[in-house]
Amino acid sequence: MGHTRLGQVPKTRKWNELVEQIAGAGPTGDVANAAVHVAAIAARTLDAAQTGLDRAVDDPGVRYTFYLLTQVALASRSSDWEAALSKHGIHLTSDSNVFDFTAEVQDAIDRHIRSNPSRATDLSEIAQQAAGEAITSLAGTRTVSLFRGSGAELQNAVRSLSTKKGFGELGQRFFGRFVARFLNFYLSRVTAAALGSARLPDLGAIAEFNDALRSHCDQSARIVRDFCGDWYSKTEYQKGIDLENTSGFLAVALKKLRSELEQQKATL
C-alpha cells in the first residue's frame, strides 16, 4: 500500500500563500499561537488539494474502511461476536485486547485492498490509519489497558460504540482523523519548506503544529457526529447497512466536513 501518490504539490499562488501563512512571523513568532491560524490553513489546503479529497468519495479502500467500522460496531452486539467478526476476516481470542483488535481490523482492510492491487492508494492507507486511531482512542478509554484485558471487556468497550450516540462519536473521530491525515499529507511538504522559520523553527514546532491541526479537524468533525449516529441507527433499523449505502453516506459526510472547514476560513 501507499505507492500511488495523491498528486504533486500545485505550483500556484495558493501554495505560496499557504507557506507564508505557516512560516510567517505572526504576532509573537511563536508556534504555540499557530492554532489561531489553523482553520484558515486547513481550508486553504482543501482548496489546493480539492481533487484528491474528491477522489476519496470513490476510493474503494476508503469506502470499505468506513463500512468495516459499521460492521465491527454491529458485531459487538452479537452473542458470539468472535464468529461475527470472523466473517469479515477479523480473528480474536478470549483474551484479545484493544491493540489486538485494532491490528486485526487494519489487517482485514489490508487484505481487502490487496485482493485488487489497483485499489491500493494513499487515500486507502490514510483511511486505514484513521480507523485504527478512532478505535484505539475511543475503545481504549473504555478498557483498563490497551494491552491487557479480556475479550468480554473488549466487546463491551466496542459495544458502547454501537449505539446511536456511540457510533456518532466513532464517526466523528474517524472523519476528523481522516481529514487531518489527508491535509497533513499535503502540508508536510509545505511545513518542510518552512522549517527554520520564525513560526516553525524546529521539528518539535512542526509536531506542535500538527497536533493543533489534528485537534482542529477533530473539533470540525463535530458537524458529522449526529449525522453519523442518526444514519447508522436509522439505516440499520430500516434496511440494514451494506457497502453500497455506506458509500453513499460517506460522500455526503465528506462534503459536509469540507464545507465546514471552508466556512471557518470565510469567518476569519
Residue 182 shares a structural domain with residue 103:
no
Residue 64 shares a structural domain with residue 42:
no
Q: Label residue 53 by pLDDT band (50, 70, 90).
A: confident
In a domain, 2, yes or no: no
Domain boundary (162, 181, 212) is at 162
Q: Which residues 6+ apart lie within 8 Å of 71 measured at CB?
A: 88, 241
Residue 45 cell numbers, joined: 489546503
Contact (CB, 8 A) for 81 and 134? no
Residue 184 shares a structural domain with residue 219:
yes
Q: Flag whether pLDDT at 246 surpasses 60.
A: yes
In a domain, 236, yes or no: yes
Residue 78 shares a structural domain with residue 200:
no
Residue 182 shares a structural domain with residue 155:
no
Residue 200 shares a structural domain with residue 231:
yes
In a domain, 248, yes or no: yes
Environment class of residue 235 by beta-carbon count within 10 Å: exposed (0-12), middle (13-18) or buried (19+)? middle
In the chain, pLDDT over 70 holds for what percent of residues?
A: 79
Q: Label residue 73 by pLDDT band (50, 70, 90).
A: very high
Residue 221: predicted pLDDT: 93
- pTM comes to 0.84
What's the mean pLDDT in 79-105?
91
In a domain, 11, yes or no: no
Domain boundary (162, 188, 205) is at 162
Q: How far is CA 252 from CA 57, 101, 147, 256, in A?
A: 9, 28, 36, 6
Domain boundary (115, 132, 162) is at 162
Residue 187 shares a structural domain with residue 211:
yes
Q: Label residue 3 by pLDDT band (50, 70, 90).
A: very low
DSSP element (H, E) containing 205: helix 203-220
Three-state DSSP class for residue 25: coil
Q: Is the dihedral of CA 109, 112, 114, 117 positive or negative?
A: negative
Residue 124 shares a structural domain with residue 36:
no
Number of domains in the chain: 2
Residue 26: predicted pLDDT: 45
Residue 184 shares a structural domain with residue 257:
yes
In a domain, 128, yes or no: yes
Question: What residue numbers bound the domain in which 225 lies?
Answer: 31-57+165-266
Q: Flag whether pLDDT at 234 surpasses 60.
A: yes
CA 234/CA 126 separation, integer angstroms: 28
In a domain, 125, yes or no: yes
